[in-house]
Structure 1
Amino acid sequence: MRTEQAAAALGIAGCVAVVVSLVLPYVTASGWGAALGRYYAAGPLGVWGLVFLALVGVVVFLAGIRGRTDPTTAAGIALAIGVVALLIALVWALSVSLDPLFGYPGSWITDHRWIVVAATAVVPLAAALYARSVLAS
């Protein structure tokens, strides 16, 4: 039971980290809304589906550990959400252009897409641990 709760907490933290990492550029530099909008819309899918999946992921992990949903069902849904979110993040990171962000007041923005991918990778990892602990009990 302890591993199950720890894995779900890690999944929730990963989902929150995805949303925070995507909001961070808006918070750190004002007046860059239009350029960041083009940056986030790049690629075939953009990142707005990723934000949605991260928020749904929080709900799924919470529903599983609080008993609102069957834990095995929550684990399966969380794993599917995590894998799809990671695929969306990778497609976006590989296809995004940094041209709209030329002159952004922070050099870390060039690595931002990989920060988003790293944060997103926590979600399927935590979901797999959660599924393993649920199925083992």
Structure 2
Amino acid sequence: MKDAVATAGTVASLVLLVVVAVPYLVVTNPEAPLSAYYAAGSVGANSVAFLAVIAAVVFLSGPRGNAEPDLVAGIAVVLGLAMVVLSLLWATAIDETLLFSFPPEAAWIEYHRWAVVALSAVVAVVAGVYAREVL
């Protein structure tokens, strides 16, 4: 069961990484304020993406035997909680004026930040389940 949970954590971390990157890939209008959007707040969204990559590697290292499962569980929980906090700091710091300065075809960007927060919470929950399975 713990291998399945670790796999779920890896997948959730990679999905979070993709969701963070979606505006970079989809919004092609050069006048869209993407850099301001990602840099909002004191931490920005790129910190969440960075931690998602690390979390994917951490979740992979447990079942492969590269690290002790209890150490992996602890690191995964800390990373999951850190992603939730950082994504909340970023999402709440985005000014509404900035969101509405995107072109009309990118109106979905208003909900993107909350999708990042929700997926960060999923990673944190999976990390908690993994810790419970290991310990």
Structure 2 length normalisation: TM-score?
0.91
Question: 2:6 & 2:127 partners in 1: Cα distance?
Answer: 7
Alignment: residue pair count:
133
1:97-120 deviations in Å (ceiling 9; x for gaps) = 243342432221111100110111
Question: 1:117 & 1:107 partners in 2: Cα distance?
Answer: 18
1:103/1:94 Cα in 2 relative to 1: closer, same or farther (>3 Å)? Answer: closer
Give the Å deviation of 1:7: 1.3
1:10-56 deviations in Å (ceiling 9; x for gaps) = 21121112111111112112134861111010011111211111000
Residue aligning to 2:19: 21
Question: 2:102 & 2:35 partners in 1: Cα distance?
Answer: 15
Unaligned runs of 5+ residues in structure 1 are none
Residue aligning to 1:88: 86
Unaligned runs of 5+ residues in structure 2 are none
SS at match of 1:65: coil
Structure 1 length normalisation: TM-score?
0.90
Amino acid at match of 2:62: G
Answer whether contact 2:33 2:102 (CA < 8 A) is retained: no
